[in-house]
Amino acid sequence: MSDKAMTKTRRRRRLRRSGRLGSAPTRRRASRENPALRAARRARDIRRNGLVALPIGIALLTAGFVLLLGVLPGMVADEHDFKSAVPCADPDPRVRQDCLQDAQFTVEGTRIQDGRNAVYWVDLSGPGPGSGRVVLDGAAKPLLRALSPGDGLRATVWRGHVVAVHKGDSSWATHDDPRGEPLLFATVGGAALIAGAFTLFAGTWCVLRPSTCVPRNAPQLVTATWLTVALLAELVAAAFVQARVAGASLWLLAGVWCVVALMTLLGAAVIRRRSTRTAGDQMMKRQAAARVRVLGR
């Protein structure tokens, strides 16, 4: 036996031991199996997958509504209050205030960790609110490298949290800065709603119509899939545009996304209508050709 034949035989034995390749009698028995039984088994598997998708879709929808209706309004209010805050007229470092306090802290330690689990923070101590660990972004690495325990560091405190640190003429925002958080949570909440609606639709479709829950038999499901991908991409693009426009509110994100989403839905409806009309015309032509053949006989 040649090396090629031996290699093929070993591969077939491994597949048979792993269960991915049945024996010859098993394959012959499967080929003789009733097509109705195969269809029933496939429908049962598809229905089971649909039942698994239903709670996932409900969970995504619930998370989206909680983010957009429960969490987002408070974040929008905090961002508005922070942007409208003014420096404290008589700052008291021992009192938590809504105005912007300019406080002096002492550095207790720093941490720089690059890579996938990047960490950048500085421990501060002072007489008033804001003392403790302050988390920064990677852009603050030059500041963290220049700091040593015992150094003084000026910071801006708002509602008891350090929102910015200053060294010379440079400033770095911390993770307690509320600006930008509403945009992130609005994008995540909108994506959860879109994905949840599609998952719930697909799961319901597979449960109620398991025999048509395949791409070639369910054009509506294929259309819904492409619409979901398009709406998610448009949401991310709208969030990117909103982040690039200085001083823009979330209404810009909602407006841009609604306009683009409406155009996408209208385009999908037009394409769907034309394809349905074309399919109907082709069916009528086939029926007419069949009648001509019958009459010709």
Within a domain: residue 27? no
Report pLDDT digits (tens) over 38-96.
Answer: 777 777 888 888 888 899 999 999 999 999 899 888 888 888 888 888 888 765 655 55
**pLDDT mean across residues, the chain:** 77
Same domain, 252 and 135: no
Within a domain: residue 127? yes
Same domain, 161 and 197: no
Within a domain: residue 150? yes
Residues in Cβ contact with 133 at an 8 Å cutoff, skipping those fewer than 6 apart: 121, 122, 123, 124
Same domain, 193 and 70: yes
Same domain, 246 and 162: no
Same domain, 187 and 56: yes
How far are the Cα atoms of 86, 162, 214, 266 from residue 155, in angstroms, in the given order? 15, 6, 59, 51
Report the pLDDT value the prediction gives residue 65, as an integer from 0 to 100.
92
Same domain, 64 and 199: yes
Report the pLDDT value the prediction gives residue 102, as an integer from 0 to 100.
86
Within a domain: residue 15? no
Residue after which a domain boundary falls, among 131, 147, 173? 173
pTM value > 0.75: no
Rounded distance between C-alpha atoms, residue 17 and residue 38, angstroms: 24
Residue 200: CB atoms within 10 A of its CB come to 19
pLDDT more than 90, % of the chain: 4
**Which residues on adjacent β-strands are paired with residue 110?**
122
Report the pLDDT value the prediction gives residue 59, as an integer from 0 to 100.
93
Residue reference for tokens 């009698």? 25
Side-chain-side CA neighbours of 18 within 13 Å: the count stands at: 8
Same domain, 163 and 97: yes
Within a domain: residue 10? no
Within a domain: residue 282? yes
CATH of the domain at 109: 2.40.50
What is the mean pLDDT of the segment spanning 20-27?
A: 51
Same domain, 118 and 221: no
Same domain, 169 and 111: yes
Residues 177, 59: contact at Cβ < 8 Å?
Answer: no
Same domain, 123 and 243: no
Same domain, 186 and 267: yes
Report the pLDDT value the prediction gives residue 145, as an integer from 0 to 100.
87
Residue after which a domain boundary falls, among 116, 146, 173? 173
Residue 103 belongs to domain spanning? 84-173
Rounded distance between C-alpha atoms, residue 234 and residue 85, angstroms: 33
Report pLDDT digits (tens) over 199-256.
Answer: 888 888 888 877 777 655 566 677 777 778 877 887 777 777 676 665 566 777 777 7
Report the pLDDT value the prediction gives residue 51, as an integer from 0 to 100.
87
| Domain count across the chain | 2
Same domain, 119 and 203: no
